[in-house]
Amino acid sequence: MANSGLQLLGFSMALLGWVGLLACTAIPQWQMSSYAGDNIITSQAVYKGLWMECVIQSTGVMSCKIYDSVLALPAALQATRALMVISLVLGFLAMTVATMGMKCTNCAGDDKVKKARIAMTGGIIFIVAGLAALTACSWSGHQIVTDFYNPLVPMNTKFEFGPAIFIGWAGSALVLLGGALLSCSCPRRESKTGYSAPRSYPKPNSAKEYV
């Protein structure tokens, strides 16, 4: 079984990654306006997130507007939002389960095999949460790249990667690594060795019988 230090390291990495995913979901810097043209207005910067859109003036004044309708949003944005919310919920569930199964806690009794299985379950849930967040960030990044190189999209409406996507990638990697370390708590089957009576073998009939 994995030692308590390895479990604590995996849990700490997953917790740090989950906090990063929470910040990534909340901040609006998923997409930032591109300055890759000649006729680009640099007096303001536009940021788009999962929940709102913000405009920052050159004077430093920022104004944000929450999206009015959910159904009016693009399908890619709706899917990204759903995947990030699922990732956060699964991550919170994984933290609860992994805490119960770690060796440094007194939850779930003193059964080492049972606690190891609970910790392994928490690690698997962490991995699923990391994969969901990684899929959301990669999907959003792919959409940004596709729109940037699309000649039909006007130059002044193109966007580039925002800091939130990089935070999401880093958080997903930490959650995946932490979940993998917790999954190393897979219990080993203890071989039960019991005493068995020796078998009796027939004696070879090699001795000569004397009459």
Q: pLDDT band at residue 205, thresholds of 50, 70 and 90?
A: low
pLDDT in tens, 24-35: 999 989 998 877
C-alpha–C-alpha distance, residues 86 and 82, integer Å? 6
Residue-level pLDDT at 14: 94
Largest CA-CA distance found in the chain, in angstroms, rounded: 124
pLDDT value at 1 more than 50 = no
pLDDT confidence band for 188 (50 / 70 / 90): low
What residue has token string 């962490």?
126
Fold annotation for 4-28+71-183: Butyryl-CoA Dehydrogenase, subunit A; domain 3 (1.20.140)
Instruction: Please report the pLDDT score of residue 184 as a whole number.
Output: 82
* Average pLDDT over the chain, rounded to an integer: 81
Residue pointed to by tokens 């609860």: 96
- Residue 114, pLDDT > 50, answer yes
Residues 105/144, Cβ–Cβ less than 8 Å = no
Percent over 90 (pLDDT), the chain: 36
Measured CA to CA, the distance from residue 164 to residue 186 in angstroms comes to 34
Q: pLDDT grade, residue 186 (50/70/90)?
A: low
pLDDT tens sequence across 5-19: 788 888 999 999 999
In the Cβ-directed half-sphere of 10, how many Cα atoms lie within 13 Å? 31
Least confident of 14-23, 104-113, 184-193: 184-193
E strands, the chain, where? 31-33, 44-48, 52-57, 62-66, 159-161
Q: Which residue has the higher pLDDT, 34 or 23?
A: 23
Domain residue spans in the chain?
4-28+71-183
Rounded to 5 degrees, what angle do the CA atoms 150, 156, 157 make?
60
